[in-house]
Amino acid sequence: MRARTAACLLTGLLAATALLAAGQAAAASVEVHLHNAAFSPAAITVQPNDTVTWFNDDSFDHDVTFDAGFSSGGAASLKAGQNWSHQFTTAGTFGYKCTVHTGMVGTVTVGAAAPAPPKTPGFELPAALAAVAAVALLARRRSSA
Q: Residue 47 or residue 57: which is nearer to Cu ion going by CB?
A: 57
Site residues, Cu ion (CB under 5 A): 62, 98, 100-101, 104
CB 43 within 8 Å of CB 106: yes
Nearest distance, CB of residue 112 and Cu ion, angstroms: 30
CB 63 within 8 Å of CB 105: no
**Would strands 92-97 and 50-56 be described as parallel, antiparallel, or unpaired?**
unpaired
Nearest distance, CB of residue 97 and Cu ion, angstroms: 8
Q: Residue 79 or residue 101: which is nearer to Cu ion going by CB?
A: 101
Nearest distance, CB of residue 81 and Cu ion, angstroms: 14
User: What 3-state class would DSSP assign to 99?
Assistant: coil
Q: Residue 62 or residue 86: which is nearer to Cu ion going by CB?
A: 62
The contacts of residue 72 (CB under 8 Å, 6+ apart) are 54, 63, 64, 65, 78, 84
